[in-house]
Chain A
Amino acid sequence: MTAPVARLTIRGVIARKWRIFLTILAVVSGVAFVSGAFVLTDSVKKSINDVFATLSEGIDIEVRTSIAFGDEATAERDPVSIDVIDVVTAIDGVRLAEGNLLRAATVIKSDGEPLRTSGPAFGIAWVGPDGLDGRTIVEGRPAAGPGEVTLDKSSARRAGYEVGDTVTIVGPAGKDDFVLVGLNGTGKTTNGGGASIAAFDPVTANEFLGAENMVDSIYIAIDEGADRDAVMAAIDVALPDGLQVITGEQSAEETAGAINDIIDIFGNVLLGFAAVSLFVSAFLIFNTFAIIVSQRLRELALLRAVGASARQIRTMIIGEALVVSVIATLLGILAGMGVAKGIVAIFNAAGAAFPSASLIVSPRTIVASTVVGVGVTVAAAIVPALRAARIPPVAAMRPELGFNSLQKNKRLVVGSITTGIGLVLFSIGVFGQPGGTSGTLGLSALGAILLFLGIASLSTTVAAPASRVISRVLPLPFRPMTRSVPGRLGSRNAQRTPRRTASTASALMIGLALVSTVSVVASSVQASFKEQLQGSVTADFFVSNGPGNFQGLPIAFSERLSELPELSAVSPFRAATAQVNGDTKQIGAVRGSAFGQLVDIDLASGSVESLDDGKILLHRDPARDYAVQVGDTLSILWLNGTEQQIEVGGIYDDATIAGNWLVGLSTLQAVSTATPTDFFIGAKIADGVDIEDARTAVEAVALDFPSAEVQDQAEFQQSQEDQLNQLLIIIYGLLIISIAIAVLGIANTMALSVFERTREFGLLRAVGMSKRDLKRSIRWEAVIVAVFGASLGIIVGIPLGLAVTTALPSTFITTTVVPVNTIIIILIASIIVGVVAAIGPARRAAKLNVLDAISTH
């Protein structure tokens, strides 16, 4: 860029700083999402990796059971006998070997309520700071015998305990009281990153945590100067079958990696919303520059007349976009740090206690934010820049010769083709599902983007007639508007520049189309789920671990419930991973004698009771895929390497609750010694027992399992729906940001239009229009644009939602629902959006001095 073009560019931006302010705001919000996602994931990962690095610092070697297949990091392994510790200790070069034992254990707060944590609640075996696992004593001393415990400092504080207090803790086998003899910490931090950690001495832990002389793995430190590889080889030789030896670093990496994956998912969701809001911002940017270019028609033509080349004009407009984008990107990166900090704060308020609060802004964050912020802004300004460069110099004297825009027909063709390709890609993505989840998402997202662009282009053609229709059919309270002068003017103005109306409305369309899509899918899932639940649940009570708690219930719970005379049938639902004929599957394990009375799985053949005879039940879909019938056998490979030939005992039609595969509890217990926990427990009231009496009995048992939640059928259904609703609220909340950007877009377009029509407004005021009427006409125009955008969004979004619903497996979706309420809310909200967006511009128009307005040229 040469000096004079640069000067024109900078001056251009400064002269229009208020007009591009909203544009900058839009870019900032998009970039903030991007940088926020990266800053957050980088910072949290770093702190979590630090914790695991600290924990594994003293561990040279780890011994654990090997798994037959699947992910090393997340597998539910069988435990290791404590006898192996002695075997390992005897090996030359081993300085110290200790058992690592970690089980679910909930701390009861001083007020009697269970301590809720955002992470897991653990009880562990800990020899004290001399041990290998890197924990430290922050206060007091480590637990040294029965009846003693230490808690991590943050959990102790939140539970209201100090050293010396008596603490009630619920373990897998029940609850017990312990004296708090000290507070533990991890490295520099005094909390477990959202988990609560109750540490017992190994003997007490073995008993209280129900470990039965087993440990999860064995930590080993080697003698100074010993050759680790040699020691590992020696251990490997000495170990019984089914155990493996790995380095401490590998173990730490695996654990941290598994957590990092979860954080990445969270980051990717944020990036997804960044993409949506940037896409919406692109429309706003495009619109702003298009309007600014048309307002500067004479100035640009003059530049051309006095010798600026088309290229210089193009460079100047793109340069302006560049300046805007750089400013916006810088602000966006800063805002992103705020976003990350805010999210951490929200999580901490919920008890997550992230180990470190320092934010990491990596070069990647800056590069990605810049590429995205600058890229989107400049890309959106390219078309307006090209259009500016095409302005003929003669327009300096004859502005009416200004633009020769894309012809209507050409736009129709381009728009239709883009829409078509978008639809095809979206359909392939949703229905064909090539390349797994990422392929499906990528292809349908690309399809949706093209679809939106195509519709945006086509909408130019319908903008004028649609505005006319909207201004006629808007409901009664607005009826008088259509006849009054302000009403007519507003409507005509919306029709006057269809291109502007269309691209402004399109920005709103995107957010609302996504809301419509999500609401169709969610309503359908919800309705289907309700329907299935009503059809399949026959249990009177459900016990689960409460929402948001992913740890299972201690198995002792269901055993205790089975003993209650008030209940006739009790079955837990447990899950295990196994390979069926080589494919990895989640298999449920239940008590065959009871499960049939609790859940109606719509048995097509065989019997549910056959589960207790060591048979397997499966849904008709996998039965069809594996071509098996009752009496056939399937080869099942369990995670620990045990392989079994299991006979098919039944085939069922309803997988809502049972999932696709079921085995008997006894089958699972016989093959795997992995620590079992239950997903939920179902129970049926015995004949003649009053429901209230039964509930009292169940609640009495639940007192010993404070994290458990007892629900009757209606409550269970409600809690399932609540979970879905919570997810929806988050999705809607994030989409609202894209809608807010679209509102900025409408406000921006209106503000720029007001500026452009200064003379016109002056004239209207001069011939006697009141300020109030002038404001009304502007407001009306904005409402028409907003309703147009909302209508487009609904028209595009609902079919997309229906398509997704159709593509979902029939086990998920049995009914398709179009949420009429949501649609009405969207339309009403869009009217409000229009009114809100018009506030500023209308006020500004009303403030114009009549004389000044007319004399401006």
Chain B
Amino acid sequence: MTSLSTAAAGAIDAFKIYGKDDSEVRALDGVTVTFASEKFTAIMGPSGSGKSTLMHCLAGLDSLTSGSITIGDTNLATLNDKELTLTRRSNVGFIFQAYNLIPTLTALENITLPLDLGGTPVDQQWIDTVVDAVGLRSRLNHRPSELSGGQQQRVAVARALASKPRIIFADEPTGNLDSRMGTEILTFMRHAVTDLGQTIVMVTHDPVAASYADRVIFLADGKIVDELDNPTADHVLDRMKRLGS
């Protein structure tokens, strides 16, 4: 692994405020953070800590009240809806907790969807690599309803990788899976970073999942309160207990 990785994405002085005056809620309260390329970063924190909001804003799905977000060299605040769409299409991949796939498209069509939408030619070799890596070769022509939860999630990971995005955001990707399938997905995500050179930012509240990451960032009340490099599950659990008390 190289230590000279550049920043894939970052936030500077990010504020996200809902409501006004008395009912004001600071979902992000001045977050500054960078995510290195070719690294696997986990964002952790209790419910309402702002971890999902941070991820949505980083991914250009939601906008900040103030502050700036960059993906690569691009400041998202300067983009209109059309440019944001293009950025998401080519630079960002997504893995959600559930409902990741378009029910009317086959597994393969779902995987190539971001490329198809952009009219980008499909890099067949890369798709083959991804498909084989997630072990879906035999299920490519099935509709999502014909796939198990774990298989659906693997299709989602493959789709996130398909366009070789600068960064992939995963929102509780194992939240809906049993532990064996969860392990499978996490192993694969680790593999994607280590061997395929991808960059992943994952929101989770599961210490075991976080232990697959290179680095864990802890959020509470909209602020970054701690971080940990090369975590193990025990370490993470330990930190969380401390944060909770």
The chain A residues found within 8 Å of chain B, CB to CB, are 2-5, 7-8, 11-12, 14-15, 298-299, 302-312, 392-394, 396-398, 857
* Chain B residue contacts of A15, Cβ below 8 A: 103-104
**Does B61 sit within 8 A of A, measured CB to CB?**
yes
Digit string of B42-56 for contact with A (CB within 8 Å is 1, else 0)? 000000000010001
Q: In chain A, what residue has the closest Cβ to B169?
A: A305
Query: Do residues A299 and B103 form an inter-chain contact, with CB atoms below 8 A?
Result: yes
- 19 A-B pairs within 8 Å (CB atoms) are namely A4-B113, A15-B104, A299-B102, A303-B113, A303-B117, A304-B85, A305-B61, A305-B94, A306-B88, A306-B113, A307-B85, A307-B117, A309-B85, A311-B82, A393-B61, A394-B61, A396-B96, A397-B56, A398-B52
* Given A14-B104, A310-B81, A310-B85, A298 and B117 contact (CB-CB distance below 8 Å): no
A8 near B105: Cβ-Cβ < 8 Å: yes
Contacts of A398 in B (CB 8 A): 52, 56
**A-contact 0/1 string along B75-89, CB 8 Å cutoff:** 000000110011011
**A311 CB contacts on chain B under 8 angstroms:** 82
- Contact check: which of B94, B117, B171 meets A308 at CB < 8 Å? B117
B192 to chain A, nearest CB (A): 17
Contact B88 A305 (CB under 8 A): yes
Bits for B96-134, please: 1 = Cβ < 8 Å to A, else 0: 111111111100010001101111000000000000000
- For residue A217, give the distance in angstroms from its CB to the closest CB of chain B: 71
Q: Which residues of B contact A307 (CB under 8 A)?
A: 85-86, 88-90, 113-114, 117-118, 163
Given B94, B100, B101, B105, which contacts A7 in the complex, CB threshold below 8 Å? Answer: B105
Contacting residues, chain A, for B114 (C-beta < 8 A): 306-307
Name the B residues within 8 Å of A857 (CB-CB). 98-99
Chain A hits for B88, CB < 8 A: 305-307, 393
B62 CB-CB contact with A under 8 Å: yes
In this complex, the interface size class of chain B, counting residues with CB under 8 Å from chain A, is 20 to 34
Q: Whole-angstrom distance between the alpha carbons of A3 and B61 in the complex?
A: 25
- B97: chain A residues at CB < 8 Å are 397
Residue of B nearest to A13 (CB): B104
Q: With an 8 A cutoff between CB atoms, is B166 at the interface?
A: no
Q: Does B39 contact A (CB under 8 A)?
A: no
A306 with B105: CB separation less than 8 A: no
Given A298-B99, A302-B102: A397 touches B85 (CB 8 Å cut-off): no
Binding site for A on B (CB under 8 A): 52, 56, 59-62, 81-82, 85-86, 88-90, 94, 96-105, 109, 113-114, 116-119, 159, 163, 171
Question: What residues of A have a CB within 8 angstroms of the CB of B86 in the complex?
Answer: 307, 309
Contact A397 B116 (CB under 8 A): no
Contact A11 B85 (CB under 8 A): no
Interface pair B82/A397, CB less than 8 Å apart? no
Separation of A7 and B119 alpha carbons in the complex (Å): 13
**A304 → B minimal CB distance (Å):** 7
Which residues of the partner chain B approach A310 to less than 8 Å between Cβ atoms? Answer: 81-82, 85
Residues in B neighbouring A397, C-beta threshold 8 A = 52, 56, 61, 96-97, 171
Least Cβ–Cβ distance between A252 and chain B, in angstroms:
60
Identify B119's interface contact among A2, A304, A392, CB under 8 A. Answer: A2
- A5 to chain B: which residues have CB within 8 Å? 117
Asked if residues A7 and B109 are in contact (CB atoms below 8 Å), the reply is: yes
Cα–Cα distance between A7 and B108 once the two chains are bound (Å): 13
Q: Is the interface of A mostly helix, strand, loop or mixed?
A: helix
13 additional contacts (CB under 8 A) given A4-B117, A8-B102, A310-B85? A4-B113, A4-B116, A5-B117, A14-B104, A302-B96, A302-B100, A304-B85, A307-B85, A307-B163, A309-B117, A393-B88, A394-B61, A397-B96
A306 touches B61 (CB 8 A): no
Chain A residues positioned under 8 Å from B101 (CB to CB)? 302
Q: Closest 4 A-B residue pairs measured CB to CB?
A: A307-B89, A4-B116, A11-B104, A394-B61
- Contact (Cβ within 8 A) B104 A308: no
Q: Per a CB cutoff under 8 Å, which of A11, A304, A312, A396 touches B105?
A: A11
Q: How far is the CA of A8 from the CA of B112 in the complex (A)?
A: 13
Report whether B82 and A309 are in contact in the complex, using a CB–CB cutoff of 8 Å.
Answer: yes
A3 to B112 CA separation, bound complex (whole angstroms): 12
Residues of A within 8 A of B94 (CB): 305-306, 396
Give the contacting residue for B89; candidates A3, A12, A306, A394; CB below 8 A: A306
Indicate if the CB atoms of A392 and B62 lie closer than 8 Å: yes
Chain A, Cβ-Cβ closest to B85: A309
B56's nearest neighbour on chain A, judged by CB, is A394
Query: Are the CB atoms of B62 and A394 closer together than 8 Å?
Result: yes
From B59, B61, B88, name the one whose CB has the most chain A CB atoms within 10 angstroms.
B61
Q: Distance in Å from the Cβ of A80 to the closest Cβ of chain B?
A: 77
CA distance A617 to B101 in the complex (A): 85
Chain A residue numbers with a CB within 8 Å of B62 are: 392, 394
- For A4, list chain B residues within 8 Å (CB): 113, 116-117
In angstroms, how far is the closest chain B Cβ from the Cβ of A587? 72
Within 8 Å CB of B100, what residues of A? 302
Contact (A8, B85) CB under 8 Å given A3-B116, A302-B99, A857-B98? no
Q: B90 — nearest CB in chain A belongs to which residue?
A: A307
Distance from A463 Cβ to chain B, minimum over Cβ atoms (Å): 29
Using CB atoms, name the residue of chain B closest to A389.
B81
Cβ-defined contact, A306 with B103, below 8 A: no
Residues in chain B near residue A11, CB distance under 8 A: 104-105
Closest to B163 in A: A307
Cα A305 to Cα B52 with chains together (Å): 15
CA distance A15 to B145 in the complex (A): 12
Q: How far is the CA of A247 from the CA of B105 in the complex (A)?
A: 70
User: What CA separation (Å) do A225 and B143 show in the bound complex?
Assistant: 81
B66 to chain A, nearest CB (A): 18
A299→B105 CA distance, assembly (Å):
11
Residue of B nearest to A304 (CB): B85
A397 CA / B96 CA spacing, docked (Å):
7
A42 to B116, CA, bound (A): 48
Question: Looking across the interface, which residue of chain B has its beta carbon closest to that of A303?
Answer: B102
Contacting residues, chain B, for A392 (C-beta < 8 A): 61-62
Contact assessment for A12 and B104 in the assembled complex, using a CB-CB cutoff below 8 Å: yes
Bound complex: CA of A8 vs CA of B101, how far in Å? 12
- Name the distance in Å between A323's Cβ and chain B's nearest Cβ: 13
Known contacts: A307-B118, A308-B117, A309-B82. The answer to whether A396 contacts B99 by CB under 8 A is yes
When chains A and B are docked, how far (Å) is the Cα of A393 from the Cα of B61?
6
Distance A386 CA – B137 CA, assembled complex (angstroms): 38
Which of chain A's residues have a CB closer than 8 A to the CB of B59? 305
Complex Cα gap A581–B88 (Å): 80
In the bound complex, residues from chain B placing their C-beta under 8 Å from that of A305 are 59, 61, 88, 94
> Which residue of chain A lies nearest to B88 when distances are taken between CB atoms in the complex?
A307
CA distance A5 to B102 in the complex (A): 12
Task: Determine how close the nearest CB of chain A comes to the CB of B175; give it in whole angstroms.
Answer: 11
A7 to B106, CA, bound (A): 11
B173 to nearest A CB, angstroms?
12
A857–B81 CA distance with the chains assembled, in angstroms: 29
Cα distance A307–B88 in the bound complex, in angstroms? 5
For residue B105, which residues in chain A have a CB less than 8 angstroms away from its CB? 7-8, 11
A305, B114: Cα distance in complex, Å? 9
Residue of A nearest to B101 (CB): A302
- Complex Cα distance, B103 from A2, in Å, reads 20
A637, B149: Cα distance in complex, Å = 92
- Which chain A residue has the least Cβ–Cβ distance from B81? A310
Q: Which residue of the partner chain B has the closest CB to A309?
A: B85
Chain A: minimal CB distance from B85 (Å) = 4
CB within 8 Å for A306 and B52 given contacts A7-B105, A299-B102, A394-B61: no
For A16, give the chain B residue with the smallest CB separation.
B104
CB-contact partner of A8 in B60, B82, B90, B104, under 8 A: B104
Minimal beta-carbon separation of A709 from chain B (angstroms)? 67
* A392 nearest CB across to chain B (Å): 7
Report the separation of the CA atoms of residues A398 and B102 in the bound assembly, to the nearest whole angstrom: 17
Contacts of A302 in B (CB 8 A): 96, 99-102
In the complex, A132→B97 CA distance in Å?
A: 89
Whole-angstrom distance between the Cβ of B129 and the nearest chain A Cβ:
20
Q: Assess the A306–B98 pair: CB atoms within 8 A.
A: no
Query: Which B residue sits closest to A3, measured CB to CB?
Result: B116
Which residues of chain A have C-beta atoms less than 8 A from B90's C-beta?
307
A298 CB to nearest chain B CB (Å): 5
